[in-house]
Amino acid sequence: MTTSHYIAGRWVDGQGSDCISVNDPALGQPFAELMAASAEQVDQAVAAARAALPAWKCTSASERAAYLRGFAEQLGQRREALVTLQMRNNGKPRHEAEVDLDDAIATFGYYAELAEQLPGQNRDVPLAAPGFTARTRLEPVGVVGLIVPWNFPLVTSAWKLAPALAAGCTVVLKPSEVTPLCELAYGQIADTLGLPAGVLNIVNGKAETGAALSNHNGLDKLSFTGSNNVGSQVMRSAAAQCRPVTLELGGKSAILVFDDCDVDSAVQWIVAGICWNAGQMCSATSRLLVQDGIADALLPRLQAALENLRVGSPLSEEADMGPVTSQAQWLKVAGYFATAREEGLQCLVGGKVLDRGGWFVSPTLYADVPEGSRLWNEEIFGPVLCARRFASEQQAIAEANDSRFGLVATVCTTDLARAERVADALEVGHVWINSVQAVFVETSWGGTKGSGIGRELGPWGLSGYQSVKHVTRCLG
């Protein structure tokens, strides 16, 4: 793409002052440049979405569903190009990039089905009082701004874009400046499908563009996924506008391994929870709580598994884990390695950046990390795992819940009654039992405490883009 913005159904060059450098993290070198959108172009995108809203929200459910299925089909037709772009711009190994694309395709297909059910959700409401009737009407919330992060492009945008379009909203999408290219495929698909102009608008840029969008008084809602620091700024702008928000923010999630668990299975679940996407996941289970009875058997096997993980370039090597996505993230992880040395943490494996020309870091395991450690409490966003031992179920639950975050957790035990009991006690939005982090579009996604507000995916994701209207009629 030589033009970086899709506004009112047209591709336009950026008129902002920032030049966005798009990098290959395996090489640590740029391979594309885009000019950012100006504040005026953000205005134009919001105005286009506002102009398109009256007609779009009145389209039939079947028509909106057909467009959503078209997005799913077109993503599939662009499969190799998008997988390769994910590998090149994100540093994802091929198997991870393929999962991402499949996730995006499934999301559009799912919300196409929900869109077709919308007419049935307008229903009569029984009243105790005689002489009146009432009905519920679900309407699109209006024009929404969508700000998405760099760790899962295509995916996070699909989680927001598909339900918003299904509900009848029009949108302005702002991708991350780190990974701006994949989301442009949605503009290409909109062109191919003949999506009405202004229903989908895409503006690229850095923090200034995001601020221009989140502060814009032409939005009816904003949905943001990213860091807590930026999320708090988004929330302040929403408060100034008295505008609803959905925020999917950070995490410092726990994986609890009880002493009856199969060691080899536990190692598999632990490694996947911290090394998928090089640990750049808000859901990374970066706190390992392991019961005393299994710790001496598990930790050496976990150390060996991390040592044997193949770290390399997704485009030139057979890699289990690629680089972190940006130089800034590489430096951040390196800073935590330095903090670990200052704190005197026991490093079983890793604890260093790798000198390979790109932004590679080693899969890392620290043992017996004290609860006051920065590494135990702060979100690192890299393949850095901190382990502590526990004696009882009650202690494990208490330590898992002792966090300002509450996104996810994993429970590993063959005692299924205990697994369900512990899952119910954990203060998080999603719990896996004896599993890798399998995320299904039918389930909800979101957290408690500092991990955000609202839910995405499932019917909850659709309801986040709907407003409820009641119509009451006097029969007299």
The secondary structure element, H or E, covering residue 418 is helix 416-425
Beta strand 346-349 with 364-367 is antiparallel
Residues with a known catalytic role: 248, 282
Beta strand 29-35 with 19-24 is antiparallel
Asked if residue 414 lies in contact with residue 248, where contact means CB atoms within 8 angstroms, the answer is no
Which residues are CB-contacts of 334 (< 8 A; sequence separation ≥ 6)?
A: 353, 361
DSSP 370: -
Identity of the residue numbered 418: R
SS3 state at 302: helix
Q: Which of 462, 426, 463 is nearest to 65 (CA)?
A: 462
Asked if residue 340 lies in contact with residue 351, where contact means CB atoms within 8 angstroms, the answer is yes
Edge-first strand order for the sheet with 364-367 is: 346-349, 364-367, 384-390, 287-291, 254-257, 408-412, 430-433
Separation CA 205–CA 199 (nearest Å):
20
Separation CA 278–CA 93 (nearest Å):
10
Separation CA 52–CA 196 (nearest Å):
8
SS3 state at 217: coil
Both tokens of residue 170?
């029009």
Both tokens of residue 421?
């009991």
Count of Cβ atoms closer than 10 Å to residue 134 Cβ: 13
